[in-house]
Structure 1
Amino acid sequence: MKKRVTLIFPKRTVQMPVTYRLAKDFNVAANIIRAQVAPNQVGTLVVELSGDIDELEAAIEWMRSQEINVSLASREIMIDEDSCVDCGLCTGVCPTKALTLDPETFKLNFTRSRCVVCEQCIPTCPVEAISTNL
């Protein structure tokens, strides 16, 4: 099973080797989608956790016991087709190729199932046609 979660670390737990502990203690793989972590600052990590459902639940419970805020990611990327000018700048920063340009029409295509909501496309869009639903 897979779950995409956002982890918010208090300053004192930023140095903790969380992904190592998830793998070693709970047999849960953590695919880091986005990270903003610095010493002595609140850190944010968006990860896709995969493993057995019971192990995932135990891992999430352990992280919460370490005062790490865990929230299930339910955001989605939204594209305002009326504002989009199909410039293709977002396709260059999309790590999963969820955003592509049709080679014949040069229209932007968005494959939602490939999107990991890394949000790299949002600041890249010059007309602010890309946002999240939350």
Structure 2
Amino acid sequence: MSSKKVVLRFGADIADQPIIYKLVKDYDLVINILKANVNPQKEGTLVMDITGVNTEQGIEYLRRLGVRVQSLTEEIIQNEEKCVSCGACTDICPTGALYMERPDMVVRFNSDRCVVCHLCVKACPMKAMEVRF
């Protein structure tokens, strides 16, 4: 079964259509929405993980609708040698991918939850959060 992280960008003209429902129902895909910003009057953005045997057909359906589909090719990594577990990144992480492990009070990073928003990269005073292409 194929899994792919993608960023979807679409205009206000289709922001009110049930595109995720169609991906699940018509293409038998499992959708995990990692981040969403959808406003009926503006462009919408979704970051999601698509899993299923019909992933490519589902992506082609989105493109036919006029959705811009972009593979999420960047990833965030934690350089554990630089990290001092100050926790600055944990407060700003919108998905909880970065969290403070108790009782040791050590910053841990779950890359599966990361939506590559870059907020942690900007927040880290030690530059321990890095972007890999």
* Short-chain TM bin: 0.7 to 0.9
Matched with 1:125 is 123
Matched with 1:43 is 44
TM normalised by structure 2 equals 0.75
State whether residues 76 and 133 of structure 1, in contact with CA within 8 Å, keep that contact through their aligned partners in structure 2: yes
Unmatched runs of 5 consecutive residues or more in structure 1? none
Matched with 2:60 is 61
1:93-104 alignment, distance < 5 Å: 93=93, 95=95, 97=97, 99-101=99-101, 104=104
RMSD between aligned residues: 3.0
Q: Which has the higher mean CA deviation after the structures are superposed, 75-84 or 9-18?
A: 75-84
Aligned length: 130
| Cα distance between partner residues in 1 of 2:109 and 2:118 | 14
State whether residues 32 and 49 of structure 2, in contact with CA within 8 Å, keep that contact through their aligned partners in structure 1: yes
CA pair 62-128 structure 1, distance change in 2 beyond 3 A: farther
Matched with 2:85 is 86
Matched with 2:72 is 73
Matched with 1:13 is 14
1:47-90 Cα offsets, whole Å, 9 max, x none, are 101111xx111110010000000011111114466864421243
| Cα distance between partner residues in 1 of 2:40 and 2:94 | 28
Q: Which has the higher mean CA deviation after the structures are superposed, 93-102 or 41-50?
A: 93-102
| Cα distance between partner residues in 2 of 1:18 and 1:100 | 36
CA pair 100-120 structure 1, distance change in 2 beyond 3 A: farther
| Cα distance between partner residues in 2 of 1:5 and 1:78 | 18
Q: 1:2 aligns to what SS in structure 2?
A: strand
